[in-house]
Chain A
Amino acid sequence: EAGVAQSPRYKIIEKRQSVAFWCNPISGHATLYWYQQILGQGPKLLIQFQNNGVVDDSQLPKDRFSAERLKGVDSTLKIQPAKLEDSAVYLCASRRLAGEENEQFFGPGTRLTVL
């Protein structure tokens, strides 16, 4: 079974530029998550999708961050414009079904550096 795929793996941009990350979850997984992990900290949930609908975006800085999951499969996370404090690893995870006690599978992450 293929794992969660993310691209790019690394990205360097200047502040005020825009950037987008892509995630392809495990086939058949209904729930998709985006996390932000700042160096030395645990991952912080930004947004959670159930199929193509948002069920939790309470921690997403909506003035600059946006995410979508068209057709309930792939997802993109965008930052526009980026700030220095957005430097972090952005992790995508997926889970088979909500309502069941099962695990999340994480991708390798995208390391973003904002200069």
Chain B
Amino acid sequence: DAKTTQPNSMESNEEEPVHLPCNHSTISGTDYIHWYRQLPSQGPEYVIHGLTSNVNNRMASLAIAEDRKSSTLILHRATLRDAAVYYCILRGFSGGYNKLIFGAGTRLAVHP
């Protein structure tokens, strides 16, 4: 299974943009890039996913490098509620059924 590398932790100030990096140099051509986040004492929640092109939704933007070996999750204006662990995951197949393999993620702290 292809792996991702993320910084252990990052900090941001409220209302500022946050760029969360992820390296995935062994990504295969069919791997989707997924981002989930986990708020304290909750289950993970989906943020965004993409394959080759940059993606935007109401929560965040996903910028994917042209060679797909890295990606960046962008929170345009961080709020205190965005303090969470962010997981960058390559969605791979197992026996024809896809699964997510979580790493340790990046713990984002947001300061008032």
Task: Count residues on chain B whose CB falls below 8 Å from chain A CBs.
Answer: 26
Verify B97–A105 contact, CB threshold 8 A.
no
Complex CA–CA separation, A55 to B99 (angstroms): 10
CA distance A43 to B94 in the complex (A): 17
Q: Nearest-CB distance from B30 to chain A (Å)?
A: 11
User: 17 new A-B pairs (CB below 8 Å) besides A105-B46, A106-B43?
Assistant: A33-B99, A42-B103, A45-B101, A48-B94, A48-B99, A50-B97, A55-B96, A56-B94, A56-B95, A56-B97, A58-B94, A93-B44, A101-B32, A103-B46, A103-B49, A106-B45, A108-B43
Where the two chains meet, the residues of A that have a C-beta atom closer than 8 Å to any C-beta of B are 4, 31, 33, 35, 40-45, 48, 50, 55-56, 58, 91, 93, 98, 101, 103-109
Residues on B facing A (Cβ under 8 Å): 32, 34, 36, 41-46, 49, 51, 85, 87, 91, 94-105
